[in-house]
Structure 1
Amino acid sequence: MTDAIKIDVWSDIACPWCYIGKRNLENGLAAASADDDAPAVEVTFHSFELSPDTPVDFEGDELDFLAKHKGMPREQVQQMLQRVTGVAADAGLEYRFDLLKHTNTVKAHELLHFAKEQGRQHELAERLMAAYFTEGRHLGREDELVDLATDAGLDADAAREALQSGRYLDAVRADQAQATAYGINGVPFFVIDGKYGVSGAQPADAFAQIVRQVWAEHREPAGVEA
């Protein structure tokens, strides 16, 4: 039995390119899954905070935040968001930056680690990103996070306890330390089988090609030179 390809994804739920990258990865894996010799793939999400100093309740909209954070004129930020919205639409995502509530994401990351233990990490990652980028939900608030956790099939009381206890914060910090060790300073970043690094929201076709190539490597008999 050939071992599955392991894809470790560093991302932030508040990163617009991360949601696009997630969807493109899924579409690429779906394309490869139609192959006669379909790759077996395991995807795990890891924590990365783009702006850890962001307050839970940020005063202002996304334009205000990016203009301040990146030191760019609002007009330039507006053009950048329009471009991202267009790329997201190509991936089948309807971004609503006019609704978006910028917030600190550390609690969302803690909840993702709780969901991983429960076998629901993929479902929660999708729910959180959709809520943030398309629904204008406030992901810095405990009640909102618990509601979204239940949408992803998690128990509400257990999710609330996980958030209130802070017991998953060490796991978040460990992910961030690993990102630093790998030299990751931007997301999304994909580490494939612990040896190949792919940066950015690559097209679906690129992900399909990568997993096919790595799967072929998995299928090579041990000791055979390329």
Structure 2
Amino acid sequence: MKIEIWSDVACPWCFIGKRRFEAALAAFPHRDAVDVTWRSYQLDPGLPGHYDGTELDYLSTRKGMAPEQVSQMFEHVALQAKGEGLNYRFDTVVVANSFTAHRLIHLAAAHGKQDAAKERLLSDHFEHGKDIGSREYLAALGRDLGLPETAVEELFTTDKYADDVRADAAEARALGISGVPFFVIDRKFGLSGAQPVETFSAALDQAWQDANPLVLVNAGDGDACGPEGCSV
């Protein structure tokens, strides 16, 4: 069963959704048969490499939200994150364009480290105030993940994996995805947002049953028991 997840490392609900999905997947009896792929999505692809201001400033000025509304949103999202064991610190978030970070995730995928890269980027951005647009930070993360140093360097000297990031974004548009996180199961089932664990579990069960229907062979020929008794 293939699950594709469109998400942005600059999206607070994407980290919360990741945790809830992981909880559902951990309890799924057929989890070893599930292949998870992270797809790139940018909430603000036109954002400069770095934004000179806080996350509150960014949302207030660039998105046109009232500061009081932004503060209330931060409180609500941080509380939801805490429920998933995450410690969001919006006061230390560094606002930066996530394009190169997404390219790093594609590089990590080529070396079997995609989920680890996604996890670190989300955690470092929302919990530790790291600059996800910084060359120094991304290079250090590449080393931590054990990625080839020359391959990480190519992210800053070439456009390697840029087409992959754009292709993910184009595919999202083709599928009608306009917000993240968005979960697609076997290209048949879609779930939008950081759904409760129970919703993810129900979707996994339904998708598995759809892909593996029970086939009855000679169902009417064998002796059996039912509510009214047994065959004689």
Shared fold, TM over 0.5: yes
Matched residue, 2:153: 160
- 2:75 corresponds, among 76, 79, 82, to 82
Alignment identity in percent? 45
TM-score for both structures, normalised by structure 2: 0.89
C-alpha distance 156-38 of structure 1, shift in aligned 2 (>3 A) = closer
TM-score for both structures, normalised by structure 1: 0.91
CA deviation string 1:107-127 (max 9, x = no partner): 001111111111110110001
For the residue of structure 1 that corresponds to 2:6, the secondary structure is: strand
Larger Rg: 2
Matched residue, 1:53: 46
CA deviation string 1:22-59 (max 9, x = no partner): 11111110121xx3x65621110111110111112211
CA deviation string 1:73-124 (max 9, x = no partner): 1111000011000001111111111110010010001111111111110110
Alignment of 1:197 onto 2:190: yes
Alignment of 1:24 onto 2:20: yes
Matched residue, 2:95: 102
Q: CA RMSD in A?
A: 1.7
> In 1, Cα distance between the equivalents of 2:150 and 2:91?
32
Aligned partner of 1:133: which letter? Answer: F
Aligned partner of 1:13: which letter? Answer: V
Matched residue, 1:208: 201
- 2:121 corresponds, among 123, 128, 133, to 128
Matched residue, 2:134: 141
Matched residue, 2:58: 65
For the residue of structure 1 that corresponds to 2:27, the secondary structure is: helix
Shift of 1:222: 7.2
Query: In 2, are the aligned partners of 1:21 and 1:188 still within 8 Å (CA)?
Result: yes
Which runs of 5 or more structure 1 residues have no equivalent in the other structure? none
Matched residue, 2:221: none
C-alpha distance 221-39 of structure 1, shift in aligned 2 (>3 A) = farther
